[in-house]
Structure 1
Amino acid sequence: MLSIEQLTEQIMSLPSAARALLAEKIVESLEFDTDPTTQAAWTAEAKRRRDEIRSGVVQPISGEEALVQVRRLLE
């Protein structure tokens, strides 16, 4: 079996799209360890936010704009 260092080296040599897919799969594998009550609350929150965007109550902004706003708040 590969060490964490060896595995990391191999993973980092993958194209970024493949690394992103792998990261997503790793995160998904950890989500099963989440408390069901917490998971249900986050699912409800995600659906509420989705519905706000779909109904036009909230206007989404790009990730880039969100970072600009956060940086501005931190100054």
Structure 2
Amino acid sequence: MSNHPLLKVEISQLSTAERIQLAEDLWDSILDQQNELPLTDAQKQELDRRLENDRQDATVGSTWEEVKQRLGFFQ
């Protein structure tokens, strides 16, 4: 990856904050063009299955707050 002509600096030379910002910028650039990566039929079916499961029983699953607590985030 470091041989890519667009990368002017070795990633390992960046600070942690700079690498996080780079990752966020990269992700944002992907999100801006997400329609270029259509879902496969299998992915669509899986999303539909999960959505239907949620509609049938909204008590199944966890909120984001519950997940963060279970993982020990923000304690």
Give the structure-2-normalised TM-score: 0.40
Q: Which has the higher helix share?
A: 1
TM-score normalised by L of structure 1: 0.40
